[in-house]
Amino acid sequence: MAPTAPKLRRTLKARAPGLHVERELWAAGHELVVGVDEVGRGSWAGPLSVGAAVVPRDRRVYKIRDSKMLTEAEREALFARVGDWCVAWAVGHASQVECDELGMSAAQKLAARRAIDGLGVVPDQVLIDGSWDFVGTGNTRRIVKGDATCLSISAASILAKVTRDRIMRAEAEHYPGYDFERNKGYPCPRHKIALQGMGPTSIHRRSWVFMDKLPWTGIPRVHPIGWEPDPEPPPTFF
């Protein structure tokens, strides 16, 4: 049985996402509407993850909010309820190696494709949080702040965030000192100190600029496929 949903804090009660966009699309004959959201793009370590969720028309799970508005305990309590409620859901990942080799934009597209393929259904319309179409299937709608206003995207954001957080907590056991169980690979003071003292782990994204600021570790910074250095500026004569 899914755990009891957390009691909503007062600040969240009036900020519920809705089904306005989904209902508009259903009324227009689009049977399968998928909400998509990304997590982990700004992390220095671990995968980039994309959640995809198909919500039902006739049942609701209350207390769903944008994952960033919820505490970790609140997201964990909602995770199973959201997953059981969805008609279909999946989370796709691009590994830190893929992020380095492909670049972040291509890695995000790869994770999105894996998430949508993992649904087992073919979407009629895809709703994306933000202003950039990282799905690119020709049947997408971009919604700025969609994770806070669109129920399908909010559901996807919780599923993606909890799934990725669990991956990073599991990785923390293998890399003590980096506090992955707390920071989930994002930059913070203790994470930065660990990098300065111990260097990058095998799950760090080695194409990121933080690599240039570490004491020499014998591990060079990686560059994505097709990367070329900026040309040297012409000499200045006085």
What is the pLDDT at residue 88? 97
User: What CATH architecture applies to the domain 16-168?
Assistant: 2-Layer Sandwich (3.30)
What is the pLDDT at residue 48? 98
Alpha-carbon 20 to chain mean position: 23
43-84 per-position pLDDT tens digit: 999 999 999 999 999 887 778 888 988 999 999 999 999 999
Q: Which two tokens stand for residue 42?
A: 């700004």
135-159 per-position pLDDT tens digit: 998 999 999 999 999 999 999 999 9
Domain ranges of the chain: 16-168, 172-213
C-beta atoms surrounding 134 within 10 Å:
23
At 107, is the secondary structure helix, strand, or coil? Answer: helix
Q: Which two tokens stand for residue 155?
A: 């559901």
Packing angle, helices 151-172 and 72-85, rounded to 10: 120
pTM of the model: 0.88
Q: Which stretches does DSSP call E strand in the chain?
A: 33-39, 48-54, 88-94, 125-129, 140-143
Q: What is the mean pLDDT of each run of 10 residues along the chain (238 residues)?
A: 61 77 96 96 97 92 86 92 96 97 96 97 96 93 94 96 98 96 96 93 93 80 72 55
C-beta atoms surrounding 30 within 10 Å:
14
